[in-house]
Structure 1
Amino acid sequence: MLDMLVVGGGYVGLAAAVAVKQAAPHLDVMVVEAAPESVWKKDMRASAIIAAASKMLEVLGVWDEIAPEAEPITRMIVTDSRTSDPVRPVFLTFDGEVAEGQPFAHMVPNVTMVGALRGACERLGVTIRHGLSATGFVTDDSKTTLTLSDGSTLETKLLVACDGVRSKLRDMAGIKTVNWDYGQSGIVVTVEHERPHGGCAEEHFLPSGPFAILPLKNNRSSLVWTERSSDAERLVASDDLVFEEELERRFGHKLGALRAVGDRRAFPLGLTLARAFVAPRFALAGDAAHGIHPISGQGLNLGFKDVAALAETIVEADRLGLDIGSVNILERYQTWRRFDTFRMGVTTDVLNRLFSNDNTLLRIARDFGLGIVDRLPSLKSFFIGQAAGTTAKHNPRLLAGEAI
């Protein structure tokens, strides 16, 4: 029988397996992933990794492999305008360091991050089984039995669902969610540009939603471009000439000529919060527990915070000789993470509603607020520390750069 079985082989699922196995090598940990083995190599997207998460990845022994491909965010600017405005005034700027030589975030190619975590699984002896989806599970006093799509079963003391925002395991566990659709989609695309970005990230608040420019290596940037869903579908389906013309209207010409590279995809945006994170011998982590708007760039980082809290809960219980699948033990993880997740979900919801519109009075009020924040260095330092995850009280040890 397994000690921990993780369903979902993305960054959160892999990180959870590595964190637990590294701290408690005697535990038998396995990952089951529905996608074929090589599919992760085709993911050309990139993700923002905050300072606290990079500390965790360093403790897990994978940051040295990731770092050469990671682009530090050295500065961030915020604008609020219409697409047609000839000038976009900058209302707020942030320096990109939470401490000397420590950026508040890095942009990391997904393929690099997943590759490093998979390598760590292999070194630690975590088995990854591909091409198998979960079709059901039953739980008794001592174990959970998971049935897979090939008819086989696996027994485990603890089942961890990291199977995404539309988690089938969450539904099977009977855990309800709070959710709504924003009527927006996020277009994710990588662009090449003539001039260097200097590590500067930009968040342009436009009437249809935020347009984020995030720096990558080699004169490239990752875009998270929010549009109304019908417009996003039209843009993604358009030819290169139309798409790049619309892109330039939003991106501007400060970095020279632009060219979209790789696939462009649109993802529907909404808010999904699980009403519970745990059940007997069962825990949710990552998007299976919470899906939020990308306006703050915190989605993946919330998942890494889940990993740090869950791993610490499991490992400390095991060291005390306690049952790691007991709901009484797992309640600590739920208490640790649920309020932070709810707070971030509400924050991103309010920000999206406040900025994704063309209301003149709201525009005046929010621009006045941004201007005040820009003139208060101590308040800016507080916000950047919050975004980096370095100022939170009672952080799990991994997020502070400490081994469990």
Structure 2
Amino acid sequence: MESVNNKTAAQNHDQTAIPQVLIVGGGHVGLSFALLLAHHGMTSTLLEKGRYPDISPDADPKRSHYLDSRNTALSRRTVQIYQEIGLWSALQSHACRIDSVQISEQGSFGAATLNKDEEQVESFGQVMENAWLGRELLLAAKASPLITLIDGASVQEVSETGDQQVSVGYTLSDNGADDTAMHTAKARLLVACDGRDSSVRQLLGISTVTYDYQQTAIVGVVETDKGHEHAAIERFSPAGPLAVLPLTDADGDGNDAQQQGHRRSVVWICPKGEEEQYLNDDAHFLQTLQQAFGQRAGTFIAAGRRGAYPLTRVLAQRQVQGRCVIMGNAAHTLHPVAGQGFNLCMRDAHVLAKMLKHQATHGGDIGNANLLKRYETARQRDQKRVIRFCDAVVHGFTHPNPLVKFARNGALVAFDKLPNIKPLVANYAMGLKA
């Protein structure tokens, strides 16, 4: 968004009628939540601290990686949510479906495979580069008359005004030049989607429970000489869980039957402090992947740009305070094992949007304390289950005790062979049993 629009939107906010919802944090979760609200006919204003790129629908659609080097595994439930709001048609061309999931441990006998035909599903999910997902979410938000975007906005104050409104004071940054003037945005409800280090959460005085995994995720894109055949490979090593996920060809359409499928998203977990050797030396990175995965993915022949992300679990001790809701990574930042974090956030957003729509339709106050408490309670079971699952996998598969190692490999074999277990796990992973 151009800076002139940034300032104009901020000035208009100080003078015009308030929107129904104010969203702080305009990443994938914040943009998705704004679009969910718009789908239900509700207005929102979104404040984003960073600056959005100046893009348009007719600009070069090739992957620009303007966000980062990461990719997102979208569960079937998340795909259904994007279908519901009419966005999946724009996303699908750059999505690569997961037809099978292969699970094993380095240097051990245990292995299991989930296959879409056996589970009678269209796919287990889709993998998409963050650059494309972010582009399409932003274009859709900019095109919606129900969404106001204000980027370069740093939140400084949060307060309730006493007249069924919440007020946010923020300053603006325009291409590196700070505007010290305080702008004000008001709404019936504030939803904070501003990430692990949420400024709103801190301003509200909501504490967190934090656990440092002492690990770093190296994330990027690699190429192999063997086509991925839409298989996701989950591999456990002494350092932590690893994953190689299928991606579309660099310039192709994910729906094209002629896709060669040599591009793969990779998540490599290493102990904290060892990341530089994997970031700066392509040959060493590829050799390390080869040793860990063997020939399951073929030969790793090229590596693209990579990023390093420290892994820390951060859980807000409460997700509702007054007329404010904490959502996304601000509420629960999880280990990336099994790709559950973003999909959990999307289920949170979907549930809250539906509850707000129902409340507004019946003339109720969308910032009502009882309503927001019902939302928090309704989401606790799904959230706690995902958190326990992620931690159990991380700690269970990195425990060095030989007896524990034997037990977990036996469990993998049992999971692969025993009937009626795979459908339960598959539905859980796809987000269909929230």
Shift of 1:123: 3.0
Structure 1 residue aligned with 2:370 = 328
CA separation of 1:98 and 1:23: change in aligned 2, threshold 3 A:
farther
C-alpha separation between the residues in 1 aligned to 2:290 and 2:268?
A: 12
Number of aligned residue pairs = 384
Shift of 1:48: 0.5
C-alpha separation between the residues in 2 aligned to 1:377 and 1:291?
A: 34
Post-superposition CA distance 1:56-83 (Å, at most 9, x none): 000111101111111110011111124x
Deviates more, 1:302-311 or 1:43-52: 43-52
Structure 2 residue aligned with 1:50 = 75
1:303 paired with 2:345, answer yes
Of 136, 151, 167, the residue aligned with 1:116 is 136
- Pairing of 1:342-361 with structure 2 (within 5 A): 342-361=384-403
Is the CA contact 2:110–2:412 (under 8 Å) kept in the aligned structure 1?
no
Shift of 1:255: 4.2
1:281 paired with 2:309, answer no
C-alpha separation between the residues in 2 aligned to 1:315 and 1:78?
A: 41
Is the CA contact 2:119–2:423 (under 8 Å) kept in the aligned structure 1?
no
C-alpha separation between the residues in 1 aligned to 2:367 and 2:381?
A: 22
Quote the sequence identity (%): 31
1:154 paired with 2:174, answer no
C-alpha separation between the residues in 2 aligned to 1:76 and 1:226?
A: 19
Is the CA contact 1:36–1:131 (under 8 Å) kept in the aligned structure 2?
yes
C-alpha separation between the residues in 2 aligned to 1:345 and 1:92?
A: 22
1:143 paired with 2:185, answer no
Structure 2 residue aligned with 1:381 = 423
C-alpha separation between the residues in 1 aligned to 2:299 and 2:409?
A: 30
Structure 2 residue aligned with 1:402 = none
Shift of 1:233: 3.8
User: Which amino acid in the other structure matches residue 300 of structure 1?
Assistant: F
CA separation of 1:61 and 1:99: change in aligned 2, threshold 3 A:
farther
1:30 paired with 2:61, answer no
CA separation of 1:98 and 1:70: change in aligned 2, threshold 3 A:
farther
Shift of 1:309: 0.9
Shift of 1:242: 2.4
Shift of 1:10: 1.1
1:9 paired with 2:52, answer no
C-alpha separation between the residues in 2 aligned to 1:130 and 1:168?
A: 15
C-alpha separation between the residues in 1 aligned to 2:117 and 2:166?
A: 45
Post-superposition CA distance 1:262-296 (Å, at most 9, x none): 32111111222111111111011111110111112
Secondary structure of residue in 2 paired with 1:197:
coil
Is the CA contact 1:186–1:226 (under 8 Å) kept in the aligned structure 2?
yes
User: Which amino acid in the other structure matches residue 202 of structure 1?
Assistant: I
C-alpha separation between the residues in 2 aligned to 1:185 and 1:157?
A: 39
Structure 2 residue aligned with 1:315 = 357
Shift of 1:133: 1.6
Structure 1 residue aligned with 2:61 = none
Structure 2, unpaired ranges of 5+: 1-17, 55-64, 173-181, 250-261
Deviates more, 1:187-196 or 1:249-258: 249-258
C-alpha separation between the residues in 2 aligned to 1:299 and 1:337?
A: 14
Q: TM-score, normalised by structure 1?
A: 0.90
Shift of 1:256: 4.1
Structure 1 outlier segments of 4+, above 6 Å: none
User: Which amino acid in the other structure matches residue 383 of structure 2?
Assistant: T
Of 157, 172, 180, the residue aligned with 2:211 is 180
Structure 1 residue aligned with 2:13 = none
Of 353, 376, 379, the residue aligned with 1:337 is 379
Of 223, 226, 247, the residue aligned with 2:266 is 223
C-alpha separation between the residues in 2 aligned to 1:52 and 1:61?
A: 14
C-alpha separation between the residues in 1 aligned to 2:235 and 2:116?
A: 17
Structure 1, unpaired ranges of 5+: 83-87, 393-404
Of 107, 110, 116, the residue aligned with 1:96 is 116
Structure 2 residue aligned with 1:77 = 102
CA separation of 1:307 and 1:48: change in aligned 2, threshold 3 A:
same
Structure 2 residue aligned with 1:397 = none
User: Which amino acid in the other structure matches residue 231 of structure 1?
Assistant: E
Is the CA contact 1:213–1:222 (under 8 Å) kept in the aligned structure 2?
yes
Secondary structure of residue in 2 paired with 1:116:
helix
C-alpha separation between the residues in 1 aligned to 2:67 and 2:421?
A: 41
Is the CA contact 2:222–2:264 (under 8 Å) kept in the aligned structure 1?
yes
Shift of 1:8: 1.0
CA separation of 1:340 and 1:254: change in aligned 2, threshold 3 A:
closer
Q: TM-score, normalised by structure 2?
A: 0.84
Is the CA contact 1:3–1:28 (under 8 Å) kept in the aligned structure 2?
yes
Shift of 1:100: 4.2
- Pairing of 1:205-244 with structure 2 (within 5 A): 205-218=236-249, 219-236=262-279, 238-244=280-286
User: Which amino acid in the other structure matches residue 232 of structure 1?
Assistant: E
Shift of 1:370: 1.0
Structure 1 residue aligned with 2:5 = none
Post-superposition CA distance 1:181-208 (Å, at most 9, x none): 0111111011011220100111111011
User: Which amino acid in the other structure matches residue 30 of structure 1?
Assistant: T
Shift of 1:166: 1.3
User: Which amino acid in the other structure matches residue 366 of structure 2?
Assistant: I
Structure 2 residue aligned with 1:395 = none
Secondary structure of residue in 1 paired with 2:133:
helix
Structure 1 residue aligned with 2:334 = 292
